[in-house]
Amino acid sequence: MVYCGPMIELTAWEARRDRILVMGILNTTPDSFYEASRVVRRRAAIARALRMVEDGADIVDVGGESTRPGSASIPVQEEMDRVLPVVEGVRKRSDVILSVDTTKAPVAEEALAAGAQIINDVSAMRHDERMGDVVARSGAFVVLMHMLGRPETMQQDPTYADVVEDIHTFLAERIRAALGAGIDERRILVDPGIGFGKTLDHNLALLRNLDRLTDLGRPVLVGLSRKSFLGAILDLPAEERIEGTIAADAIAIVRGASIIRVHDVKEGRRTADVAERLRCHGVASH
């Protein structure tokens, strides 16, 4: 099979470089927007992560703080208490790639020491000035995501001159900042931040023009799973947005995404395998 997107270059990932990667979402929070994704007990969270691996996850993304619209930040120690035991427990039982969804350098530092390999920072390392140094010293990967403002305020009348070009410019600047912090370019991933300070039209424009972001030269990660823009289209709650997620993920892959971040790993894996074949064989372009 021909792989048509930017490759993620890490020896441990070599066996996965011939396909779109699937990142499973593991929320160790009591307040994430999709209730079924919340797993607050340590043993249950570890078991959920291992089940994701069985279902085809290449990466498990562990989050201890909700970033849904309107959510507020929690103390560093509370986030550590939610995340670290799960990272440690999964690492003892599996060699799956582990990502931690955090904007806090102390959480990132401890999670990387516990066995995580990716820091998924929704602030693109703007929230904590130490994050760049932590990632650079560890040799970890980092996901730089666009978000307008903060979760508390991001959906309050989001406005852009040109949403695609504005986010392209933002991500290019954050890549330069990461390089300036000493992070290896090959370990930088980008995420347009669908739903993070965007209207329905903004989200659709980003999906339609996702290939514009691939010229940044870094793998593009998208998180579309069960999000509110799908609910706006379908007029359905998060619990009933699986088909919408599958459709949106397929389009994102055809448009150039290298990684999809999903709640439903088995469905995500199947979606990725089919959409990748369509992209690489030019089916979707006809």
Active site residues per annotation: 227, 261
Q: Are 191 and 146 in contact (CB under 8 A)?
A: yes
Angle between helices 76-93 and 42-55 (to 10 degrees): 50
Angle between helices 163-180 and 200-208 (to 10 degrees): 70
Sheet with 259-262: strands ordered across: 188-191, 141-145, 118-121, 97-101, 59-63, 21-27, 259-262, 221-223
Cα–Cα distances in Å, from 214 out to 207, 254, 256? 12, 12, 7
Half-sphere exposure at residue 58, Cβ-oriented, CA atoms within 13 angstroms? 23
Q: Which residue, 221, 224, 150, is CA-closest to 194?
A: 224
Q: Are 214 and 220 in contact (CB under 8 A)?
A: yes
Residue type present at position 169: T
Separation CA 72–CA 19 (nearest Å): 36
Measured CA angle at 271 (ends 267, 275), to 5 deg? 175
170 Cβ partners below 8 Å, 6+ apart?
Answer: 124, 146
Separation CA 237–CA 239 (nearest Å): 5
Separation CA 254–CA 282 (nearest Å): 9
